[in-house]
Amino acid sequence: MSVPFYVSPEQIIKDKADFARKGISRGRSVVVLQYADGVIFVAENPSRALHKISEIYDRIGFAAVGKYNEFENLRVAGVRLADMRGYAYDRLDVTGRSLANAYAQTLGTIFTDAAKPYEVEIVVAEVGGTADDDQIYRLTFDGSVADEHSYLAMGGQTDAILEVLEAQWREGLKLAEGVRVGVAALSAGADRALDAADLEAAVLDRTRPRRAFRRLGPADLTEILVASSASPPGD
């Protein structure tokens, strides 16, 4: 009688985690950082149709790295959940924390039960009345949640990106300064200078009356980056 093939649960979990990490590391990076008036998202993404950064609800944004079809499914599910909760109860009942919890349950279930885990890492950010009230949640492929502050990087060469963020980020950055820090960090990870055509960017701006999410188009990014290159050293 043949011996049945057996793999320990520990090995299965390890293999799934290694598989997901490799898929995420092959993707282009995303940087999320706080600035004076909210939260900035900057991604290396030359596509103008397939977004890695999106709006979920009034004051909540979403960013992701990994397989597009998988994180797009998560984004759509988050939008539907937020709309349903806001309609059934109150718009104020839709929070970044509740969405992060829902995503954590979904990702954890997929990681445990499905043959192949999602090759994604996502961020759910909610802008508050002050910088101390901002919430940034980072979720990994296995459903783990981390409450982040100041800045974070996902996908690609994160070590090089984080070195730049650690050196250049400071509290109270203005919008243009924050975007430049994000672009410099992504350029370090990509090992080349990135321009507006290589980038996707958006902000959650606490000064906007209701819908805080605003995309920064190619013209906005070009203006910011050109102004940076035209400034004399030390400015």
Could you say which DSSP state residue 140 is in?
-
Per-residue pLDDT of the chain (235 residues), as tens digits, is: 565 677 888 999 999 999 999 999 998 999 999 999 999 999 999 998 999 999 999 999 999 999 999 999 999 999 999 999 999 999 999 999 999 999 999 999 999 999 999 999 999 999 999 999 999 999 999 999 999 999 999 999 999 999 999 999 999 999 999 999 999 999 999 999 999 999 999 999 999 988 999 999 999 999 999 886 655 444 4
Instruction: Give the integer Cα–Cα distance in Å for 155 and 23.
Output: 9
Q: Which amino acid is at 113?
A: D
0.85 surpassed by pTM: yes
Could you say which DSSP state residue 120 is in?
E
Sheet of strand 38-44, all strands in order from the earlier edge strand to the far edge: 151-154, 30-35, 38-44, 199-205, 213-216
Whether the Cβ atoms of residue 221 and residue 175 lie closer than 8 Å to each other: no
At residue 28, φ and ψ (nearest 5 deg) are -75, 150
* Domains and their CATH numbers in the chain: 28-228 (3.60.20.10)
Work out the number of other CB atoms within 10 angstroms of the CB of residue 151: 25
Rg (CA), the chain: 19
Instruction: Give the integer Cα–Cα distance in Å for 89 and 134.
Output: 23
Instruction: Give the integer Cα–Cα distance in Å for 10 and 226.
Output: 51
Question: If you write DSSP's letter for every residue of 120-180 in order, what string do you get?
Answer: EEEEEEE--SSGGG-EEEEE-TTS-EEEE-SEEEESS-HHHHHHHHHHH--TT--HHHHHH
